[in-house]
Each structure stands twice: as structure tokens, then as C-alpha cells.
Amino acid sequence: MGWDTKCRVSYVLYAVGLIGVIMFVDVNVPSISTREQLRRNWLSLTDVEDYVVEAVNPSNIRTFLRNLTLNLHLGGTENEWNTAQWVADTWQQQGMDEVHLVPYKVLLSYPSASNPNQVRLLDGSGRQMWVSAIKQKPLYAPEESSSDIPFNFNGYGAAGNVMGPLVYAHYGSEEDFAFLANAGVNISGTIVLARYGQSFRANIAQRAEEQGALGLLLFSDPADYAPAGPDFVYPHSYFMPPSAAPLGTTKLVDGDPLTPFYPATESAFRIPEEEAPIPKIPVQPISYSDAFDLLSELSGAAAPQTWQGDLNITYHLGPAFREAEWSVNLEVNNYNTMTTTYNVIGVLQGREEPDRYVMLGNHLDSWLFGAVDPSSGTAAMLELSRVFLQLYNETGWRPRRSLVFCGWGAEEYGMVGSVEWTEQFAKQLSNRAVAYLNVDMAIEGNYTLRTKSAPILTEAVYQSARRIPNPNPEEVAAGRTTVYDTWAHRRPDPVQPDFPLMQLIGSGSDYKGLQHNIGVPCMDTRYTHDDKTLGEPMYHTLYETFALVDEIYDRGFKYHSAVTALWGDLAVKLAESKILPFSLHIYADYISKAQKNIEEIYGQIISSQNISLEFFADAAVNFNKAVTSFDKVLNGLDQNNPLAVRRVNDQLMLVERSFIDPQGLPGRSDYNHVITAPSKNNAYGGTAFAGLVDTLTAINEASKNDKKPLWRIFAQHLAAVTHFLNTAAKVLSDDLW
């Protein structure tokens, strides 16, 4: 495809817009609600915020979601292209200034269409005693029976046909594998059975492979995903049914596996597939019904109490079976192939600073129907763009800065579309992008808001959440009238219990490249569940259907609407405020706390190496001081001087960029942000100063001889972090010295 701009903006209007408010003269018939503002020829920030929050319409979101979930939309397939085209068409119809489909040619992974992946139990003579399900059983929604549904698979799990004993490895964490080694269970030559839920599945696959496993089976234990027992599962409840087998990628490095660091354009150099960061062993998801059958046959020592799940048997470690000479056979027929994935980019041009981008995004691809992940977010995004364009139609309002809407391709395979795009436009984005606001799913429950953010956006998110009416009538009755109130009540920050918990942005969705590689401040928000389960129970399964959302999670789509309104409100604040609403004090405070934390926990062991923490501590103080001085600059600023305004905004934008280390974190060239990078042991989480903390952890675990080179790495990275903290302080002033 690759068709380009259909530019329906009136350039006359646009040029008029550049000189400010005069543009409001050139409008269509205004609605009643905005007539007053038009008379004043001015929409204030608050007017726009109120408009956006009020205009979000739940029934539109429902209609968008119904449409998006009628078909599958697996990355790199015709179904994904249709979805991308539909989103592009919708944006054209809504009146977006520009809509682009941006293609990348990438390596994706699919199950064979004819030979299903299977797990078998074989007796000593090779006879098949049992075989796993090849698909997830249709339970409720008609589309669950579609003949287009692929066989169960894990993205990038290697093709192979392996046979061996079985070992139960709990969550497959580092500690779990260490426990097995101590218990005398040798992973080498076995097939590992591990539980989903505590670490990213690609990390489990990597650990299993490193230990010499022949293959990996993944299942979700009912203890983690169906805790209310067998009667309370989909479709009677939102808990996981026995036949569910969650899909998911097993690639560790984000983006296209063949074009690391560079965009997968036509001219790209592609590394040989053997060098790609994907598993060499077969990996396959199975249902807990199938896991029950396998575990029932397993013997060896009983697994420890904490490793037992809710299947009604005693879990054994293996590797032997109860029947002598039985073994497990894993056959995976996945194949990797070059295919095209599309990002869809829609732009509403800014009136004064069109080259400053406030970006909003969500991915378009899903493993199966994806009603929660990602289509709840796509539906919210389409409604939000509609609201902005309706406002534009009614009043001629354009944001001060451009709003850039992004529909990403092939996110499920490991942020493929968004990382390639970030790589392609890294220089421009680094100069022009103000922030990126991601909604991967709008809802995965209706209990409370859950937000991950760069600390610099925290205050703006709090302020927006305080403006959004609470969609939960019981909470309103209890006096908690806003989304913020319920968030603060149900998810207080353990350290500052008066505030809601704001999690540090880790990885796990399309903000990865923008936050962690080029330092664009990002946030990700959604309504979430009450943590009775380890995640959304239907995540990546066949049962993530429209019915799940429409009949169980969000009857009336009020929670979707709340997230849409919050998303829009935050975008307005960032796009419309004259001075960027960045919370420098929160950032400075966050950095000081994290710095002191390292000093308290590791100070002694670090100084025992004659490594000084003094410069690091000074740099944190330095940044705090710079932030305080910057307040004075802002207070004295002539806000009617556009160059002065642009200057401080440029300085504000440079703060996050300052923390980007071009070398990457120690041993991790794909993570550059020295403060917000997630810990390498779990790509989902967020840990401050992960490069320092991970190295200290490695030192702690290393043998005596291996410690020395690690201390050198630590000292070098500490100096880099110190340097970037000093840089962040310095960019808030006009001089270099």
C-alpha cells in the first residue's frame, strides 16, 4: 500500500491560524455550547478541557469496539492491514489534516496453518498416551468459533520436535531455576513447564534455553487467574476458563529482530536470522486443563508449598513421570517470515507550534480478537480524535502544538511498528516531540486507574485525573467524585499515602522506543482490576471478546469514557499550555530519593571498593538546585515574548533527553535512559537507575573472581549517570559553563 497524505486542511485557514486567534472568525456554524467562547474569540485551556471531557460519547466507543473486534487482527497479516486501513479511513472521515500509512518490512512469526503445535505424552515404546488441545474451545461469543483462528502458539517460539523428561519450574524466575539446581534437578535435556505471570515470557524462555532445556511450555495457573474456583470463569465471570491458552511473544529485544537500532525500511541491512534475538528452542502455551493432565503424570520430589497452584493435585518437580519411561514430546511448527506491518499516523496541525508534537497512541494488532488488548484502547483513540475534530469543526480551534495520533503495527511481537518508527524519526522526534501518551488498553477492569509515567508528567496526570468525573456511582456516593479520588483511595502510594500510586514507566508497550531510547517523556494509563489475579485473566486468549467487555467489564462503556477523557485532557494540557506543564520538582525529588536509596542500601559495599558516591550525590543536589532556579526564570518570564516562551520550553524538553546515554546501559545497548529503564530481569517493571542496581545485583551474585570486572562496569556507569544528572541540571540554563 503506502499511499500518502490526503491533506484536507485549508492552508489558508492554517496560515491564518499561525497568527493566532483570528482563525476563529473562519468557522462553520458554531454549536450553542461554544457560542460564548466564540463571541470572546478565545477558547481558554479550561474551555477546551471541559469541552473534551464532556464530548466523549460512550456509545461511539462501543460502536468502534464492536467493529474492531469483528475480525482477528494479528500483526503483519491481511487482517491487520484491514484494521490499519479502517483506522486511516476513519481519521480521514473525521477530518484529520494528514493521515499516513507507514510500512515496515519485518520478520514476524506464525503457526503453521495446517500442522498444529502439539504436546504429547509418550510411553516407553513411543505410543501417544495423551495429546494437548490445538486451539482454545469456543465457549460463548459466536466469533470464538471462527475458522480463521490460528492454532495456539507463542510468537517466535522456534520450530522443532523435541522429546524429553518434564520439569516443573514454578514461574521460571532466576530464583526458581536456582532452587531447582539446588534440589538436584538438572534442566539440561528436559522440557520445562512454567507458569505465566511473574516474569516476561521472553525472559523465561531465555533462562530455560540458557540452562539447556529442549523446550518450554507455559501455562496460567488457576491460583493466579481463576482464584474463585471452577464455577466463576468466563463466560460467567471475568476469570480464566480451563481451556484458555494465552499467546504472546518470546522475543527479548524490541522492534524488528533483523534490523537492530535502524528502521526496517527498504534500504535497511538485515542481519542473518540465526543472529536474531529470538529463542532457539520451541516454546508453546498450553491451557491449565492441559497442564493439569501433564502435572498429574509427573513424579519426582513434591514441589515446595509455595510452588503449588490451584490445580487439584500435588505438583511434583519431575523430571520423571509416574510411569517408567514416559516422556513428553513437544512439536512446534511455527515459521518466521518477512512481512509488512503498517503504522497509521494522523495529524491535527498545531496553530502556533506545529513542529512540536504531543503524541497519542495505541497499537492496532492483537493475538486474537483483542477486545481488551488493544482494541479497547483503539476505540478510545478513535473517539478522542473524533472529539478533537468535532471541536475543530465547531469552533476552528486548533491546539497550540500539533496532536499526532499513532496506531502502531505488530506491537504484540515486541513493539515492532513503534520501535521502527522511533528509529526512523529519532532525530526529529528528539528535537520536536513533547510527550507521548499511550493507551495500550483503555480498560482491563473497572476497579481503579493504573498509570505508569515518566516522573516529569506526574503532576499533569494527577491534575487531569482530578478533572474526570468518577464513572463508578458507588464511589461517587462515598464522596469520591473523581477518577483521581478512587485511584488515591484504592491504590495509594505506599510512601506518600495521600497520593495515588504513580508507577515508573517500564517497558511492555509502544512507549518503549520513545521513552527509553530517545527520552521523550511517556505515560501509559488504563482502568485496571483489583489485583485478585496476576493480570487481566483473559489477556491474549480467545476469550478477549467484545462480549467480555460489553457484558462483564464495562457495561455502558463509562470506564472507557473516563480513560478517553483523561487521555484527552492530558493531551490538551500538554498541547495547549504556553509553558509545558512538566513536574520538574517531582522529578528532582524522585531522583534524590532514588540516589539516597542506593546510598543507604549499597553505600558501604560501594565505598569498600574505594568508589566514591559523592559526585553522584552532588549531581542529584545540583539538579534539585537547577530546578529551583528555573522556577525564578519562569516567574520572571515575559510570556508574551514568543522566543522567550520557546526558549524555556526547549529547555524543559531537554531535561528528559539529558538522561539518554548513547552507549546504552551496561550490557544493554537497547536501553539508553539511565533513570527510567526497567530492570533487566523483568522487562515489564520500572526501577530507578536500573543500570546501577542491576550491576550491584550481579556483583552480589557473582563469584569472587567475577566481581572485579563488574565493579569496573559499575564505577564507569556511575560516572555516566553522574554526568547525565549534571547535564539535566545544565540544560535548564542558557549557558554551557
- For the annotated catalytic residues, the residue numbers are 411, 612, 650, 673
Out of 340, 609, 669, 727, name the contact with ligand NAG by CB under 6 A. Answer: 609
**Shortest Å, Cβ 17 to ligand NAG:** 16
610 touching ligand NAG, by CB under 6 A: yes
Which helix (H) or strand (E) segment holds residue 130: the answer is strand 128-131
Q: Report phi then psi at 354, rounded to 5.
A: -65, -20
Adjacent-strand bridge partners of 331: 118, 161
User: Which H helix or E strand runs over 598?
Assistant: helix 584-607
Shortest reach from residue 564's CB to ligand NAG, in Å = 14
Each residue 25-64 as x (binds ligand NAG by CB under 6 A) or -, in order, gives: --------------------------------------x-
Other residues' Cβ atoms within 10 Å of the Cβ of residue 213: 26
393 part of the interface to ligand NAG, by CB under 6 A? yes
Per DSSP, the residues of 435-467 read EEEE-S-SBS-SSEEEEEE-GGGHHHHHHHHHH
Q: What is the phi-psi region of residue 196: left when phi exceeds 0, alpha when psi lies from -120 to 50, beta otherwise?
A: beta
Residue 327 touching ligand NAG (CB under 6 A): no
3-state SS, residue 10: coil
| Binds ligand NAG (CB under 6 A): choice among 110, 156, 200, 238 | 238
Interface with ligand NAG, residue 596, by CB under 6 A:
no
Q: How far is the CB of 471 from ligand NAG (least distance, A)?
A: 8
Smallest gap from residue 553 Cβ to ligand NAG (A): 5
Among residues 282, 255, 289, 286, the alpha carbon closest in space to that of 271 is found at 255
The least distance separating ligand NAG from the CB of residue 459, rounded to whole angstroms, comes to 29
> Between 186 and 629, whose beta carbon lies closer to ligand NAG?
186
Cβ atoms of 109 and 413 within 8 Å: the answer is yes
Q: Is residue 640 within the footprint of ligand NAG (CB under 6 A)?
A: no
C-beta closer to ligand NAG: residue 374 or 445: 445
CA angle, 583 then 584 then 585, to 5°: 95
Q: Closest CB to ligand NAG among 555 and 646?
A: 555
Closest contact distance (angstroms) between CB of 502 and ligand NAG is: 23
**Interhelix angle 690-701/704-730, nearest 10 degrees:** 170
CB of 555 to ligand NAG, least distance (A): 4
State the Cα angle at 22 between 18 and 23, rounded to 5°: 65
- Distance separating alpha carbons of residues 578 and 643, to the nearest angstrom: 12
The reply on whether position 147 binds ligand NAG by CB under 6 A is no
Task: Provide, rounded to whole angstroms, the least separation between the CB of residue 628 and ligand NAG.
Answer: 36
DSSP-based helix, strand, coil % in the chain, nearest 5: 40, 15, 40
Give the interface segment with ligand NAG, choosing from 128-136, 385-393, 456-464, 634-642 (CB under 6 A).
385-393
Residue 66 in the binding site for ligand NAG (CB under 6 A): yes
Which residues touch 384 (CB under 8 Å, ≥6 apart)? 52, 56, 360, 564, 567, 568, 571
Nearer to ligand NAG, 446 or 726 (CB): 446
Stretch that binds ligand NAG, among 154-162, 480-488, 500-508, 548-556 (CB under 6 A): 548-556
3-state SS class at 159:
coil
Q: Which one of the spans 33-41, 269-277, 538-546, 549-557 is the region binding ligand NAG (CB under 6 A)?
A: 549-557
Q: Which stretch binds ligand NAG (CB under 6 A): 192-200, 498-506, 551-559, 718-726?
A: 551-559
Q: Find the radius of gyration of the CA atoms of the chain.
A: 26
Query: Closest distance between ligand NAG and the C-beta of residue 327, in Å?
Result: 14
Which residues face 619 on adjacent strands?
none
CB of 634 to ligand NAG, least distance (A): 36
C-alpha to C-alpha distance for 275 and 588, rounded to whole angstroms? 41
389 binds ligand NAG (CB under 6 A): yes
Instruction: Name which position in 131, 476, 552, 613 contacts ligand NAG (CB under 6 A).
Output: 552
Q: Per-residue string for binding with ligand NAG, 84-113, x by CB under 6 A?
A: --x------xxx------------------
382 vs 627, beta carbon nearer ligand NAG? 382
Q: Is 635 in the site for ligand NAG (CB under 6 A)?
A: no
CA distance 536 to 534: 7
- Give the binding-site size for ligand NAG (rule: CB under 6 A): 24
- Select from 445, 519, 666, 686 the one that contacts ligand NAG (CB under 6 A): 445
Of 73 and 386, CB closest to ligand NAG? 386
Angstrom distance (rounded) from CA 85 to CA 83: 5
Residues linked to residue 407 through DSSP beta bridges, in sequence order: 344, 362
Candidate list 33, 71, 79, 390; residue touching ligand NAG; CB under 6 A: 390
161-220: contacts with ligand NAG (CB under 6 A): 186, 188-189
Selected from 446, 482, 486, 545, the binder of ligand NAG by CB under 6 A is 446
User: Taking a C-beta distance cutoff of 8 angstroms, is the pair 473, 516 a contact?
Assistant: no
* Amino acid letter for position 661: D
Distance separating alpha carbons of residues 76 and 340, to the nearest angstrom? 5
What is the spatial order of strands in the sheet that 327-332 belongs to? 128-131, 118-122, 327-332, 160-164
For residue 340, give the 3-state DSSP assignment: strand
- Give the nearest distance from C-beta 95 to ligand NAG in angstroms: 4
Which member of 462, 553, 616, 623 binds ligand NAG (CB under 6 A)? 553
Type of residue numbered 221: D
How many helices (H) does the chain have, and how many strands (E)? 22, 18
The 683-722 site mask, x for binding ligand NAG (CB under 6 A), equals ----------------------------------------
- Cα angle 108, 441, 261 (rounded to 5 degrees) comes to 40
Asked whether position 550 contacts ligand NAG by CB under 6 A, the answer is: no
Q: Toward ligand NAG, which CB reaches closer, 378 or 446?
A: 446
Asked if residue 67 binds ligand NAG (CB under 6 A), the reply is: yes
Interaction residues for ligand NAG, span 515-534 (CB under 6 A): none
Asked whether the CA dihedral 306, 308, 314, 316 is positive or negative, the reply is negative
Q: Which stretch binds ligand NAG (CB under 6 A): 171-179, 335-343, 550-558, 692-700?
A: 550-558
Question: 451-474 burial string, b = 16+ CB within 10 Å, else e?
Answer: bbbbbbbbbbbbbbbebbebbbee
CA pair distance 224, 233, nearest whole angstrom: 13
The DSSP 8-state label assigned to residue 239 in this structure reads S
Pick 43 or 655: Cβ nearer ligand NAG: 43
Least Cβ distance, residue 376 to ligand NAG (angstroms) = 13
Q: Which is nearer to ligand NAG, 148 or 650 (CB)?
A: 148
Judged by DSSP in three states, 297 sits in helix
Residue ranges binding ligand NAG (CB under 6 A): 63, 66-67, 86, 93-95, 186, 188-189, 238, 312, 386, 389-390, 393, 445-446, 552-555, 609-610
